[in-house]
Structure 1
């Protein structure tokens, strides 16, 4: 690890001012950044500690939604009674991520901005456009079993690792950002992340020096919610495919639906195609299969990860069927 300087920010404005210096980065829980620094992938010359800023509260909004401070711990958000009651898909996604120890340390803001776990990104001897622009993508011709099937290109096929962000995408979350000029702006989570294109090293729309201060959840959507994660082992593993779904079923018909996938793209992947194929249709397996086909119509496998296309279709169908059964049982 290279030498660096360190300071603890006294308030949010001081933090964004401090991080504006060349080579500076924010650090909060450090559950991702410190690993990358040890490997020489991240090489900040100065760290600005924001972990003790007063941004941990979870507050009710007038419209029935919630404001979640960016420094709230993943485990605290997952356990919050309001989150569990109004946004169970978010609580389920948080609990499925990492380990209990990491969830206790990791922050909500850091979770949103964690880097890919692509093994070629972590291997400094391998070609990786995300780590070193213009060097190539070793995953395309290599072992790419865990890589992207949607929204990828010839420059990068890495996936975004967050479970939480997938659930927040299905819920329509907005992200509050504080800039170095102390201005505040809000970005829909669907617009927060960039697809790789020709610049896979630019992963979000954050401006230099901007800091996430909170996540705003709208009032709970109608229907039932579920997060399903398919992985190689039962714990401490990233998703091969995950689905966050919010579905309202009445009298055997899907009245409303929101669907997001994880583990399939460089960002949490909301499928408006699946939502359109579901809304107004009978809550039957035929409808779910049609929705899955629409969601994965443009999916492209790279050899080892071809199986993820069918896996994503099956995972969506199973998730939708389970939600429909719950709606029927509830009457």
Structure 2
């Protein structure tokens, strides 16, 4: 780890005025510190956000929820409003990391965590995310955990977050602030596909700070499921994960939301597949059609072809359990 200076601002304005070349914001540090230890990140200054107060969960005037960027993952998962109205989000958070990490990790930081691609973490190999233009050895190397949707010649890395998959399904909005003002970014637009610039994970500018994540009024509390398929039950990233949310009238689907993790550079939604379910009666045949549609453009690599069938089966299972109103909290290793 290289030496760095440390700042502890006490206001958003002070934090934003501290931004400059070589500076990085730090909240819980559960990803950034690891990257610094591996010499992947080498900030000259760390701007500690812990004194900014952005740590509350509040109801909004329209019946939604505003989550401060510094709310810990643990506090968010167990917050009464989230458990009651957005159990999908609670379930996704509790499927990730370990209790110790969830106690430290921040909501805003979760959105910004970087891929766990082996080659990204190995500074002895090329990686277009670390060094643009150097190459992507994962395309022909060990690529069992890599993307099957939305990848490019430049990068086949996947986004690692569980929480973000649920936020995508719930159509969250990210609140962002800089010295130039504030803006809101729809969650589906926040993260980027790799294209020819995989070093950019999201749409944030260097001088912008996430201040909050907003959830719309709850519609899916009764019929939602987060399913995570992983190699082991303890502290493992998803091979495939599915956030499924249904609004039902009887057994007829009024609205459906579906997002996948472990398959792409960002949480993956297919709005055509969601639209296919609207107005339809819940059935295994319908969910099988949805799964086929979501995966029809999949391009597996040498070692991850199994992900296509695994994702199809996971989609069918998650939608089935969501329709049944299955109890929350169970995740498959």
- With structure 2 as the length reference, what TM-score do the two structures score? 0.96
Cα distance in 1 for partners of 2:225, 2:323 equals 11
What pairs with 1:284-323 in structure 2 (closer than 5 Å)?
284-323=283-322
Give the corresponding residue for 1:211: 209
Structure 1, unmatched stretches of 5+, are: none
2:161 aligned partner: 162
Aligned equivalent of 1:138: 137
Tell me the number of residue pairs that the alignment of Structure 1 and Structure 2 aligns: 325
Tell me, in whole angstroms, the C-alpha distance in 2 between the residues paired with 1:191 and 1:230: 25
- 1:69-124: per-residue Cα shift (whole Å, max 9, x none)? 00000000000011000000000001111000000000001001000011110000
CA RMSD in angstroms comes to 1.1
Match of 2:185 among 176, 184, 187: 187
**Higher mean C-alpha displacement, 248-257 vs 117-126:** 248-257
SS in 2 for 1:312: helix
Aligned ranges 1:105-184 → 2 under 5 Å? 105-181=104-180, 183-184=181-182
Residue 17 of structure 1 corresponds to which residue in structure 2? Answer: 17
Q: Is contact 1:239–1:263 with CA below 8 Å preserved after alignment?
A: yes
SS where residue 172 of structure 1 aligns?
coil
The Cα shift of 1:271 comes to 1.6
Segments of 5+ residues of structure 2 without an aligned counterpart are: 327-333
- The superposition leaves residues 43-72 of structure 1 with CA deviations (integer Å, 9 ceiling, x where unpaired) of 111110002211001011111111000000
**Distance in 2 between residues matched to 1:75 and 1:249, nearest whole Å:** 30
Q: 1:326 corresponds to which residue?
A: 325
The Cα shift of 1:277 comes to 2.0
Alpha-carbon distance in 1 for matches of 2:237, 2:247: 28
Q: Superposed, which structure 2 residues align to 1:57-72 within 5 Å?
A: 57-72=56-71
Could you tell me how far 1:321 is from its partner in structure 2? 1.0
Q: How much has 1:16 moved relative to structure 2?
A: 1.3
Query: Per-residue displacement from partner, 1:272-325 (whole Å, max 9, x unpaired)?
Result: 122122112221111000000111111110011111111111000001111222
TM-score, normalization: structure 1? 0.96
Q: Is 2:7 the counterpart of 1:7?
A: yes
- In structure 2, what is the Cα distance between the partners aligned to 1:124 and 1:38? 12
* Residues 96, 235 of structure 1: 8 Å contact kept: no
Alpha-carbon distance in structure 1 between the residues aligned to 2:87 and 2:187: 18
- 1:180 and 1:39 map into 2 onto residues whose CA distance is 32
SS in 1 for 2:259: strand
Alignment partners' CA distance in 2, 1:114 and 1:191: 16
Q: 2:253 aligns to what?
A: 254
**Deviation digits for residues 21-63 of structure 1, max 9, x if unmatched?**
1110001111000110111100111110002211001011111
Q: Secondary structure at the match of 2:88?
A: helix
1:101 is aligned to 100
Is the Cα contact below 8 Å between 1:128 and 1:138 reproduced in 2?
Answer: yes
Aligned to 1:199: 197
| Secondary structure of the corresponding residue to residue 125 of structure 1 | coil
How many angstroms apart in 2 are the aligned matches of 1:158 and 1:13?
35
Are the equivalent residues in 1 in contact too, given 2:223–2:324 (CA < 8 A)? no
